[in-house]
Amino acid sequence: MATVSELLPIEAVRLDAPAEGWREAVQAAGDLMEKTGTCTGRYTAEMIANVEENGPYIVIAPGFALAHARPSGAVSGTGMSWLRLRQPVEFGHEENDPVDLVVGLAAVDRGAHQAALAELAGLLTDPGTVRALREAPDARTLLALLGGGDVPDEDAERDDPGAATRRADERGADSGPTVHKILTVCGNGLGTSLFLKNTLEQVLDRWGWSGHVTVEATDTVSAKGKASEAVAVFTSREIAATLAGVSVPVRVVHDFTSTAEIDGALRDTYDV
């Protein structure tokens, strides 16, 4: 599957761009993908409509929005754009506004961009990398940073994965072949939910629980039917409001790049 570098051509990077508000920012991110032949103007309109319909759930970390919509005939190829704003804009997100970085994503299906989002999630969990990306003087420097390889996890030294695994043993997690499922949910099941899935999997890997807990990214409609198969749902506040009545706990995550916040949500879920 494609990496960020393969999906983000230099022509789709614009730094220090002006925008009067969130619609203009999403429009500019879509324009970059239109310019590279990834999508048409209809897809850009669908990205804007996605926020109008579902709220600012695409603002998945402080200052960072992942603009996207469902795969459609308006997408000719899977691709991304990178828009850094001259002045931040408000999307209406209580915790993560204002936004100065908008990454656009268009996908022909639900699978072609998974590796790129996993890679991006890994990069954006490191504060040093985020700072360097925000300060990159030009597009070539930014692309070099995005293709720079593995990034250390800021919380890796703080946690004791062995202790987490021992707690799992004590609670019977290793007593049989049972595998739990956690759902990550967004409006379309292919953008922010995948991003959250990737960060969640980083924490599960650190705990040594990857063999015991699987994570599935899905959309709001499918989540209501799948909730009975899961131990919990992880999502944004905006999407959580649409999942009232599901039979399992719904954990709201404000910063999809924060392994510390997701670690805490997992501890609440499993009472460890």
Please say if the pLDDT value at position 127 is more than 70: yes
Query: Are 108 and 176 in the same domain?
Result: no
Average pLDDT (136-140) is: 95
Tens digits of residue pLDDT in 37-79? 999 999 999 999 999 999 999 999 999 999 999 888 999 998 9
End residue of a domain, out of 146, 174, 197: 146
End residue of a domain, out of 113, 146, 179: 146
Query: Are 50 and 170 in the same domain?
Result: no
Range of the domain at 21: 4-146
Average pLDDT (104-129) is: 82
Tens digits of residue pLDDT in 143-164? 999 886 333 343 443 344 444 4
End residue of a domain, out of 96, 114, 146: 146
Indicate the pLDDT class of residue 116, thresholds 50, 70 and 90: confident
Average pLDDT (233-249) is: 92
Q: Which residue has the higher pLDDT, 3 or 184?
A: 184
Query: Are 36 and 97 in the same domain?
Result: yes
pLDDT for position 174: 44
Q: Is 83 within a domain?
A: yes
Whole-number mean pLDDT of the chain?
Answer: 86
The percentage of the chain sitting over the pLDDT mark of 90, rounded to a whole number, equals: 67
Please give, one letter per residue, the 3-state secondary structure of the chain.
CCCHHHHCCHHHEEEEECCCCHHHHHHHHHHHHHHCCCECHHHHHHHHHHHHHHCCCCEEECCEEEECCCCCCCECCCEEEEEEEEEEECCCCCCCCCEEEEEEEECCCCCCCHHHHHHHHHHHCCHHHHHHHHHCCCHHHHHHHHCCCCCCCCCCCCCCHHHHHHHHHHCCCCCCCCCEEEEEEECCCCCHHHHHHHHHHHHHHHHCCCCCEEEEEEEHHHHHHHHHHCCEEEECHHHHHHHCCCCCCEEECCCCCCHHHHHHHHHHHHCC
Q: Which of 29-33, 49-53, 124-128, 201-205 is predicted least confidently?
A: 124-128
Query: Are 260 and 192 in the same domain?
Result: yes
Query: Are 130 and 199 in the same domain?
Result: no
**How far apart are alpha carbons 106 and 125 in whole angstroms?**
22
Of 127, 60, 130, 133, nearest in space to 95 by CA: 60
Please say if the pLDDT value at position 224 is more than 80: yes
For residue 168, the domain's CATH number is 3.40.50.2300
The residues assigned a catalytic role are 68
Count up the domains in the chain and report the number. Answer: 2
Which of 93-102, 171-180, 213-222, 236-245 is the most confident on average?
Answer: 93-102
- pTM, whole model, 2 decimals? 0.82
Q: Is 264 within a domain?
A: yes
Q: Tokens standing for 39?
A: 């999508």
